Structure 1
Amino acid sequence: MIFKERVQQEKQQPQEFKPVFFRIQDPEQKAALLQLVNDHPHIKIYDEIDSQLRELMKITHPTRPLSDQETREAIQKHLGSTSREEYGVWVYFPWLHKVVHIVDEDEYIHLRTSRNMHKITAEERDILKTKKIGVIGLSVGQSIALTLVMERLCGEIRLSDFDALELTNMNRIRAGVHNLGLPKVIIAAREIAEIDPFIKVTCYPGGATEENLDDFFSKDGQIDILVEECDGIDIKIISRIKAKALGIPVVMEMNDRGMLDIERYDLTPDYPMMHGLIPDIEPEKLRHLSNEEKVPILGPMVDMHNMSPRMKYSLGEIGKTITTWPQLASSVVLGGAMVADTCRRILLGQLQSSGRYYVDFEKLIN
């Protein structure tokens, strides 16, 4: 009974995913942070501001290594009259029960992207931090979202998925067992915040629907790219109708043979949806089709004739020996890399094409 009560209490806790910032040069924020840690003695405090300042001095003086004495002097000059404790920002992660001391936003971005230089220039980094990317579907989409964030290819990311994490998902979704039962959007949003608390994350835990797509695409500014990785045929089509109407490019990875789709509605407004492979059918009618009825529609969209032999075989086993199509972690991670690279080049004006492309390891390496 004790365990049951504790479990129910945990389930009733808010599913927080947004960090809380305390800049304690402000007396009110300092008092609020002290109140927080005093009221919750289980909160752990992490302060590695010195190591961040040393790194900052190192990358600011790239022509030669600074001695320990020179580093200390450079840090003190940089701090001026501000104490180490008051420098930067203290970030509280409610779901982790941790407070972490880090440099503030501009220096954080400078440090975290310093090893991207010059593959991504400072000017390109500053362009990318103004961009908004929407991701629908968080199986392949989780890997994509995390790669986008690690490479810092946007300043805002919108996540949409209706599903909660199940143990069977953990063959390709990066998550610990303590996350079982949590919405996939919350799991991804929390990890994003832990990587970069300054990136804005908006979650749609009910998934993408006709009712919320306007909000997803356009609230507080239009997204610059749609990454579509959902399972539902109706949302695949409806989201493209919306993207096409708004002139937003769509990128999709199919998780078999490294198949990547790019649809540049921003450059070619009349480009046929999914290269003309989407049939002329009302999306409303798709909701009521059986799996068997969906196959003739889905087949051309996913290029069924060119699927890997094992994926083709697996589709025939759905409802017999398996319940859904298989996905492998290696393919999901590859998809994250391909989509992130493609999004970066689209956002920076380095890629102009639409089309379907394959990065098939079995063909490339044999």
Structure 2
Amino acid sequence: MIQNRVNRDKREQLEYTPAFYRLGDAVQKQALIQLLEQQEDIQVFDELDIQLRELMKIQHPTRKLTTEEITELAAARLGNTPAEEYGVWVYFPWARRVVHIVDEQEFIELRTARNMQKITREERDQLATRKLGIIGLSVGQSIALTLVMERLCGELRLADFDALELSNMNRIRTGIYNLNVPKVVIAAREIAELDPFIKVKCYADGATDDNLSDFLTGDGKLDLLIEECDGIDIKIISRIKAKALQIPVVMEMNDRGMLDIERYDLQPDYPMMHGLIPDIDINTLKNLTNEEKVPILGPMVDMHNMSPRMKQSLAEIGKSITTWPQLASSVVLGGAMVADTVRRILLGQLTASGRYYVDFEQIIK
């Protein structure tokens, strides 16, 4: 009995796309009824009334509406449409939940109401057309979720080859039930549960020579690349391709709040990673040992100016620790820094390339 359940769950580990049911369509209504009859463990959440009432309040900001007025306006919005046919029912198969929400335009209006006017309606609609890509879903998960919470894009592409291990949970916000689930799938599910209307495409093999072109240009070119991977070869190859396509690149290094911006869209001849990437053949790079990569990686990540604790940690790799450490506080800071930078780049408010630091140990003493 238990093993059968485990095997079923294993088959479902790659699911991350929600299903939509609009009950004004008889076929979709029957499909949802059939789903609920066949899978009795599915939970159903219907708080449409609360959403409509909130919608009425935000659409009348100059009035102090009474409870009765809100009720009347919500009823008028429904009109002759049965409540169950209003909006859309969203099924999250990995969570066995169906949720009744207002449909896309009203959902976006509600989801972004408390962004106004820090992000204007026109800016919000402009950002909704943008396509972003993230390579690396440790630091990248915090970035992805912050981008989605602010609704800074309409499409996200996520690349990471790794599955969640318990030690990853010092910085990846998720539950222990997700152990051994691909990191891209964990992030994609969180995104869908925050905002099911944002398109997400997962590359569970990570960014590779074979899929990078599709990652950067498939179904439309990325507007911006966020590079957070560990592999030095992909760091370089992704920049070579992004530069050729004039796609800007943003990277956060998770130590001393170091942030890189490379505006290949505005400066096509800008040197990769500010000239810190050496002139080296990619095929040669792939065959280097970790020790041989250190002299190349050092300048790229500003090893000389790393925090004292990070420098000490690097000397302990292979001795007392297996890899370099990352802290949740730094990862969450990175998510905020990158999201703020990405928003300003996409809205034309930031044009600079360069390397910047938000070092708490220097700022707060």
Measured against aligned partners, the alpha-carbon deviations of 1:144-175 in whole angstroms (never above 9, x if no partner) come to 00000000000000000000000010000011
* SS of structure 1 residue aligned to 2:15: coil
Counterpart for residue 22 of structure 2:
23
Counterpart for residue 192 of structure 1:
191
Amino acid at match of 1:289: L
Counterpart for residue 88 of structure 2:
89
Counterpart for residue 163 of structure 1:
162
Counterpart for residue 46 of structure 2:
47
Amino acid at match of 1:249: P
Give, in whole Å, the separation in 1 of the partners of 2:298 and 2:316. Answer: 16
Give, in whole Å, the separation in 2 of the partners of 1:9 and 1:200. Answer: 26
Give, in whole Å, the separation in 1 of the partners of 2:237 and 2:130. Answer: 23
Counterpart for residue 179 of structure 1:
178
Counterpart for residue 242 of structure 2:
243
* SS of structure 1 residue aligned to 2:251: strand
Measured against aligned partners, the alpha-carbon deviations of 1:170-227 in whole angstroms (never above 9, x if no partner) come to 0000110000000000000000000000000000000000100010001111110000
Counterpart for residue 298 of structure 1:
297
Counterpart for residue 113 of structure 1:
112
Q: What is the correspondence of 1:230-309 to structure 2 with a 5 Å cutoff?
A: 230-309=229-308
How far off its partner does 1:6 sit?
Answer: 3.6
Counterpart for residue 315 of structure 2:
316
* SS of structure 2 residue aligned to 1:158: strand
How far off its partner does 1:78 sit?
Answer: 1.3
Measured against aligned partners, the alpha-carbon deviations of 1:61-104 in whole angstroms (never above 9, x if no partner) come to 11122111111111121112112111000000000101000000
* SS of structure 2 residue aligned to 1:25: coil
Q: Is the 8 Å Cα contact of residues 264 and 354 (structure 1) preserved in structure 2?
A: yes
Counterpart for residue 37 of structure 1:
36
Q: Is the 8 Å Cα contact of residues 234 and 284 (structure 1) preserved in structure 2?
A: no
Q: What is the correspondence of 1:58-77 to structure 2 with a 5 Å cutoff?
A: 58-77=57-76
Counterpart for residue 346 of structure 1:
345
How far off its partner does 1:5 sit?
Answer: 4.5
Give, in whole Å, the separation in 1 of the partners of 2:22 and 2:13. Answer: 24
TM-align CA RMSD: 0.9
* SS of structure 2 residue aligned to 1:197: coil
Give, in whole Å, the separation in 2 of the partners of 1:345 and 1:332. Answer: 20
Give, in whole Å, the separation in 1 of the partners of 2:9 and 2:364. Answer: 48
Q: Is the 8 Å Cα contact of residues 155 and 200 (structure 2) preserved in structure 1?
A: yes
How far off its partner does 1:3 sit?
Answer: 3.9
Amino acid at match of 2:170: N
Total equivalences in the alignment: 365
Give, in whole Å, the separation in 2 of the partners of 1:225 and 1:278. Answer: 20
Measured against aligned partners, the alpha-carbon deviations of 1:227-278 in whole angstroms (never above 9, x if no partner) come to 0000000000000000000000000000000000000000000000000000
Counterpart for residue 219 of structure 1:
218
How far off its partner does 1:282 sit?
Answer: 1.3
* SS of structure 1 residue aligned to 2:309: helix
Give, in whole Å, the separation in 1 of the partners of 2:12 and 2:320. Answer: 38
TM-score by length of structure 1 reads 0.98
Q: Is the 8 Å Cα contact of residues 13 and 181 (structure 2) preserved in structure 1?
A: no
Q: Is the 8 Å Cα contact of residues 131 and 155 (structure 2) preserved in structure 1?
A: yes
* SS of structure 2 residue aligned to 1:78: helix
Measured against aligned partners, the alpha-carbon deviations of 1:258-312 in whole angstroms (never above 9, x if no partner) come to 0000000000000000000001011222222222111100000000111000000
Amino acid at match of 2:41: H
Counterpart for residue 10 of structure 1:
9
Counterpart for residue 101 of structure 1:
100
Amino acid at match of 2:318: G
Q: Structure 1, unaligned stretches of length 5 or more?
A: none
Q: Structure 2, unaligned stretches of length 5 or more?
A: none
Give, in whole Å, the separation in 2 of the partners of 1:86 and 1:10. Answer: 31
How far off its partner does 1:4 sit?
Answer: 4.1
Greater displacement, 165-174 / 6-15: 6-15
Amino acid at match of 1:198: F
Q: Is the 8 Å Cα contact of residues 136 and 160 (structure 2) preserved in structure 1?
A: yes
Q: Is the 8 Å Cα contact of residues 163 and 184 (structure 1) preserved in structure 2?
A: yes
* SS of structure 1 residue aligned to 2:83: coil
Greater displacement, 280-289 / 312-321: 280-289
TM-score by length of structure 2 reads 0.99
Amino acid at match of 1:30: K
Measured against aligned partners, the alpha-carbon deviations of 1:84-141 in whole angstroms (never above 9, x if no partner) come to 1110000000001010000000000000000000000000000000000000000000
Give, in whole Å, the separation in 2 of the partners of 1:187 and 1:51. Answer: 28
How far off its partner does 1:14 sit?
Answer: 5.3
Q: Is the 8 Å Cα contact of residues 12 and 94 (structure 2) preserved in structure 1?
A: no
